[in-house]
Structure 1
């Protein structure tokens, strides 16, 4: 990789985290007023147009972006991501922004746990210990067995599992497909799948909410663009820890705009999950260097 600039990469990752947090806040608003499937469908329409534009401007154009060594796995990746987005947005509506993100931060632990059976990677005892500690943090957040446990609390955990599988398959197809190919398939498959579902749940929207929908689409495109640029100028392992700032930005939005609260168990559990995830990422980096 040429043109390494870790400081710029960190800055772009922080900006990416802020953009995605605002995006989730807008999703929370729209999904609270309209059907989730319709909202996600329109978002993926714009995403598909965005990836087509990027592919058309890249060397080889659309013809190169379509050519994949793993068309079935690429299709599965797209389906996993779009289902994950739907599940996560449902979590925003029924559980709240802050608790949903607090649980979702465990996805790097799921990636580590599943990297063995999916990719054949070795996971040592230190990472397994961190994975166990991290899921203890998830239990602290969810508090199963305390008062009335809401089944909606499992939605962000399911979303984390889906996103972890999506990430692992992304690493697998990277063995034969360029990142631009994977990005193209993600957008196109997601848009096609959501169109098959979302058109049955179409609802008229107010002019103001069409403005919010346009903002949601622009935020999604801007967030992905910043993420791509961040990964172009810096190593993923160097900037990944700053992605957890999204939890901070989401907490600010949830508290200030949606009247959510930071319960002590949520803060403690999230801190445990983030610490375990950061340790897992560090051990993965150490293992890769040896």
Structure 2
């Protein structure tokens, strides 16, 4: 289930890149989030206790903030797909679990050991290798991906924070509804007509997002999140493969080595977390 989710998310990223070359990114997100919002509402209605139970939150403002942050992160990532391509974007973005670890101390009061700080440093070196040190290393596109990773890490930390008071169904519900509301407010300024031939791709994008989340939810029902996390890096593999095969993106050795360093650092960090080190 987890491998299937990562494959679907990788395909979703490829479709997003294709559509974003022609249409407004926010316009794409508008349709995607309306579909997503309908899915979470339907799921909430069918959940035990129904919509009244799911909508109740002890931290509604943080829940809404999470939803808006995720929309912003997706907007940044899709724009980065067009500027850097799927390969480099995902290779850099894979550092977000290490950012979560670095911020877990000051934000959540969690202890971060010296060994885990070393994994963070190794991951940072991997990102620098991907960026290819030189005068143009920190291009606006690369900074956009790093900002997206920081945003997603903050989203992850807030998610862990609200999980102390709200069940997963509630968090999932607000992710869809708050995100859809935020994008809808911009509708008058972002909508552009979509060609009939591309509505099939748009429908596939919406379905793939929902299907990916379904696979992810089922995977989390069957196994602990800590055991599934290593498989999350497969999204980098699938997205990179599609970038090379479909969009003919280059695959420099620096990106491969740097991405491997980031992934290995993340896996070692996860192992240390399991061992309580």
- TM superposition score normalised by structure 1: 0.93
1:164 aligns with 2:153: yes
The answer for unaligned runs of 5 or more in structure 1 is: 1-11
Out of 249, 263, 273, the residue aligned to residue 274 of structure 1 is 263
- Aligned pair count reads 277
C-alpha distance in structure 2 between counterparts of 1:277 and 1:146, whole Å? 28
C-alpha distance in structure 2 between counterparts of 1:267 and 1:87, whole Å? 23
Question: Are the aligned partners of 2:94 and 2:262 in contact in 1 as well (CA < 8 Å)?
Answer: yes
Bigger drift between 211-220 and 151-160 goes to: 151-160
Question: Are the aligned partners of 1:87 and 1:155 in contact in 2 as well (CA < 8 Å)?
Answer: yes
C-alpha distance in structure 2 between counterparts of 1:162 and 1:41, whole Å? 20
1:76 aligns with 2:65: yes
| 1:18 aligned partner | 7
Residue 154 of structure 1: how far off its partner (Å) = 1.5
Question: Are the aligned partners of 2:131 and 2:137 in contact in 1 as well (CA < 8 Å)?
Answer: no
Out of 242, 250, 263, the residue aligned to residue 253 of structure 1 is 242
Residue 147 of structure 1: how far off its partner (Å) = 5.2
C-alpha distance in structure 2 between counterparts of 1:229 and 1:197, whole Å? 33
Question: Are the aligned partners of 1:98 and 1:247 in contact in 2 as well (CA < 8 Å)?
Answer: yes
| 2:88 aligned partner | 99
Provide the secondary structure at the position in 2 that maps to 1:176: coil
C-alpha distance in structure 2 between counterparts of 1:274 and 1:146, whole Å? 26
Provide the secondary structure at the position in 1 that maps to 2:112: coil
Provide the secondary structure at the position in 2 that maps to 1:160: helix
The answer for unaligned runs of 5 or more in structure 2 is: none
Deviation digits for residues 195-218 of structure 1 (CA, Å, limit 9, x no counterpart): 112441111111121111100000
| 2:39 aligned partner | 50
C-alpha distance in structure 2 between counterparts of 1:201 and 1:107, whole Å? 29
1:221 aligns with 2:213: no
| 1:145 aligned partner | 134
Deviation digits for residues 92-148 of structure 1 (CA, Å, limit 9, x no counterpart): 011111100000100100010011111110000000010011001000001242457
Bigger drift between 214-223 and 250-259 goes to: 250-259
Provide the secondary structure at the position in 2 that maps to 1:27: helix
| 2:192 aligned partner | 203
Provide the secondary structure at the position in 1 that maps to 2:185: helix
| 2:163 aligned partner | 174
**Aligned-residue CA RMSD (Å):** 1.2
Question: Are the aligned partners of 1:37 and 1:86 in contact in 2 as well (CA < 8 Å)?
Answer: yes
